[in-house]
Amino acid sequence: MKKLMIIFMILYMISFVIAQTDWNIYYRLSLDYDTGEINISSVQIEISDIPENTPGDYRAKVMDYNDNLLNLTFFDVPNKILWDGINPETGEIDRGGELELNQTSFEIFIPYYENAKEIIIYNKNQAEIARRDISEYSKQRAAIQEKEANETERQKAKGNVNQIEEKITKYWWILLIILIILVIILIYSLRKKGNK
């Protein structure tokens, strides 16, 4: 519950700050590329001017809780680099070329949506290659989670009452025995007093 309150407050504060400035909220995704495969190593929320992505045929889709498309971002894997070689004697660049790296790490930037549930990455052939749940950053999730939490607490309280009822039904005879013993002790002590 506390966690939810904190998330709510952070989101509220962010919205307030954004409303006062021209900044944007966006997801910063760190991606690891390895011979055609992509792994999303981390997702962060940042507030600033959203940096541009390298244009390309890779796609990142942001989906909401009802599987609707919220955003489509195109990007490229920056694994093609220009390398330059330096002449050890003259110190001048006198050689070089283009190189395609099999592995590289890079980042992409996608606008933030408060009702986003997940990000799906597709390659140039439109085949899905990575997926990441981002619901922890969504307001909708926070609301759903709060509802769920309230429901759980209600169920818990109800459960406790039911448990006591169940126990009483199950162990009524023990209570009866205790009661009988108490009555016997009472009668015995009363008789003793009467005799005196």
Minimal distance, residue 7 CB to other proteins, in Å: 25
For other proteins, the binding residue among 86, 143, 157, 180 (CB under 8 A) is 86
**C-alpha closest to that of 137 among 12, 34, 23, 11:** 11
Element (H, E) at 123: none
How far apart (Å, rounded) are the C-alpha atoms in residues 119 and 128? 11
Minimal distance, residue 18 CB to other proteins, in Å: 22
For other proteins, the binding residue among 2, 20, 67, 83 (CB under 8 A) is 83
**Are 132 and 79 a contacting pair, CB within 8 Å?**
no
Q: Which CB sits closer to other proteins, 67 or 98? A: 98
For other proteins, the binding residue among 19, 82, 161, 164 (CB under 8 A) is 82
Would you count residue 23 as binding other proteins (CB under 8 A)?
no
Binding mask 37-56 for other proteins (x = CB under 8 A): --------------x--x--
Q: Which of these ranges, 89-97, 110-118, 122-130, 182-190, lies near other proteins under the rule CB under 8 A?
A: 89-97
How far apart (Å, rounded) are the C-alpha atoms in residues 7 and 26? 17
Would you count residue 159 as binding other proteins (CB under 8 A)?
no
**Are 26 and 14 a contacting pair, CB within 8 Å?**
no
In DSSP notation, 76-115 reads ----EEEEEEE-TTT--EEEEEEEE-SEEEEEEEEE--TT
Question: Site for other proteins (CB under 8 A): how many residues?
Answer: 24
C-alpha angle 135/136/139, rounded to 5°?
A: 75
For other proteins, the binding residue among 5, 93, 175, 190 (CB under 8 A) is 93
Q: Which CB sits closer to other proteins, 44 or 163? A: 44
